């Protein structure tokens, strides 16, 4: 909840018809306004769709200009996506400073375009600085949710009724899940349990029923706990784990180091290379192993079994992960916005 002594107003602008409004309304942040403007992609679409998007972007820029004249913000935070372009154009016309936040290691096309309008680019890790002009980026770290920052191992072990003397494997693929990871885990679930591991498995809501059918009789094993998704308890799942198998989205750059967690990272293969670059960032620094999607079925069990029983290597990976932690990302980004707006 926002401190009533603060005088800052927060307004959110998203694309018409996007999923942003639902997320904003579900968040714990108190926004003074939630607005929508027309926008659309112009890269990677057919010529007709690109033309329609250009028309939408033009209208969206006018809508943005009207909204910014009414709101009169002192600073604007952009996070990428084509819906940011109309706001960026309007902000440039009104000389309103822009801060861009880059969650992944490498910027995509929209941020490469938007950075021309930016006063400063806030980045999650120092490796991102090479993509921008010298002196234009600032390392803030990734803004972490409170349930991550407040989670403790003691509370986590109690919540999931785990044995502190045994190793715990956490496997997840986000709120929607990662079917290839679920399938690979299901294929070796019996052997992992036989090897004495405790397993927390977050299947994702879309793949829950199929994953439970695949688990069969093992879904009732005392050392296997499956969930469609964990919301407020996700921080506790991280705190309970000794090893993680997951995708390599931007949040892993912060969540894994926060808990000093070694990981086997499986980049999502059907998008641009963001996740591969994120996975390589952590693996090159000794905090993770990258395992590509096509190799999951053949190698997942061996990678988990070799790593989780190698105390020396697991400990070294944990320390290397811990060295990358930046737990104050939200506060650092907030300070940057306040300073930029006051300048």
pLDDT value, residue 29: 81
pLDDT at 176: 66
Q: Does residue 273 carry a pLDDT above 80?
A: yes
> Which tens digit of pLDDT belongs to each residue from 307-327?
999 999 999 999 999 999 999
Q: How confident is the model at residue 5 (pLDDT cuts 50, 70, 90)?
A: very low
> What is the model's pLDDT at position 246?
97
Question: What is residue 165's predicted lDDT score, i.e. its pLDDT?
Answer: 96
Task: Please give the C-alpha separations between residue 11 and each of 38, 66, 102, 150, 336, in angstroms, as whole numbers.
Answer: 17, 14, 20, 27, 17
Give the model's pLDDT for residue 231. Answer: 85
Element of type H or E holding 124: none
pLDDT at 6 over 80: no
User: Tens of pLDDT along 157-186?
Assistant: 999 999 999 999 999 986 666 899 999 999
User: Which two tokens mark 208?
Assistant: 């829950």
Position 226 scores a pLDDT of 97
* Mean pLDDT of the residues in the chain: 93
pLDDT at 4: 44
Find the mean pLDDT for residues 238-249. Answer: 97
Confidence of residue 272 (pLDDT cuts 50, 70, 90): confident
CA dihedral sign, ordered 65, 67, 68, 69: positive
Percent of the chain with pLDDT over 70: 97
pLDDT of residue 172: 96
Match 């307004």 to its residue by tokens: 11
* Residue 79: pLDDT over 50: yes
Residue 69 vs residue 270, higher pLDDT: 69
Please report which confidence band the pLDDT of residue 80 belongs to, taking 50, 70 and 90 as the band edges.
confident
Q: Output the pLDDT for position 43.
A: 77
* Neighbour tally for 21: CB within 10 Å: 16
Give the SS3 label for residue 332: helix
Q: Which two tokens stand for residue 237?
A: 């799942």
Q: Around Cβ 102, how many Cβ atoms within 10 Å?
A: 25
Task: List Cα–Cα distances, 272 to 107, 108, 215, 291, 324, in angstroms.
Answer: 11, 8, 31, 17, 24
- If you average pLDDT over residues 252-272, what whole number do you get? 94
**Residues 81-140: tens digit of each pLDDT:** 888 999 999 999 999 999 999 999 999 888 998 999 999 999 999 999 999 999 999 999
Mean pLDDT calculated for residue range 295-303: 96
Rounded average pLDDT over 40-69: 90
Proportion of the chain in helix, strand, coil states, percent, rounded to 5: 50, 15, 35
Supply φ then ψ for residue 342, to 5 degrees.
-90, -15
pLDDT exceeds cutoff 80 at 1: no
């Amino acid at each position: 909840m926002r401190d009533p002594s603060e005088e800052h107003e927060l307004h959110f602008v998203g694309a018409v018809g996007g999923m942003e409004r639902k997320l904003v309304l579900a968040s714990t942040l108190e926004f003074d306004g939630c607005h929508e403007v027309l926008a659309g992609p112009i890269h990677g679409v057919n010529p007709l769709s690109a033309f329609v998007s250009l028309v939408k972007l033009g209208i969206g820029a006018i809508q943005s200009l009207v909204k910014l004249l009414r709101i009169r913000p002192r600073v604007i935070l952009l996070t990428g996506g084509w819906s940011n372009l109309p706001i960026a154009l309007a902000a440039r016309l009104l000389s309103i400073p822009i801060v861009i936040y880059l969650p992944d290691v490498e910027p995509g096309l929209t941020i490469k375009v938007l950075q021309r309008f930016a006063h400063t680019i806030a980045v999650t890790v120092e490796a991102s600085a090479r993509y921008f002009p010298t002196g234009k980026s600032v390392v803030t770290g990734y803004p972490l949710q409170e349930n991550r920052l407040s989670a403790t191992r003691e509370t986590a072990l109690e919540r999931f009724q785990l044995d502190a003397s045994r190793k715990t494997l956490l496997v997840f693929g986000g709120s929607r899940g990662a079917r290839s990871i679920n399938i690979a885990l299901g294929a070796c679930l019996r052997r992992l349990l036989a090897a004495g591991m405790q397993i927390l498995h977050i299947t994702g809501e879309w793949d829950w029923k199929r994953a439970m059918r695949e688990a069969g009789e093992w879904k009732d094993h005392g050392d296997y706990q499956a969930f469609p998704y964990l919301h407020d308890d996700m921080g506790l799942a991280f705190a309970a784990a000794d090893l993680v198998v997951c995708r390599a989205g931007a949040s892993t750059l912060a969540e894994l180091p926060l808990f000093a967690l070694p990981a086997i990272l499986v980049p999502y293969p059907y998008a641009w290379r963001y996740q591969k670059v994120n996975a390589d960032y952590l693996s090159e620094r000794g905090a993770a192993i990258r395992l590509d999607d096509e190799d999951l079925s053949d190698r997942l069990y061996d990678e988990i079994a070799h790593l989780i029983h190698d105390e020396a290597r697991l400990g070294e990976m944990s320390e290397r992960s811990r060295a990358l932690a930046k737990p104050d990302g939200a506060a650092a980004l907030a300070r940057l916005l306040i300073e930029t707006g006051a300048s």
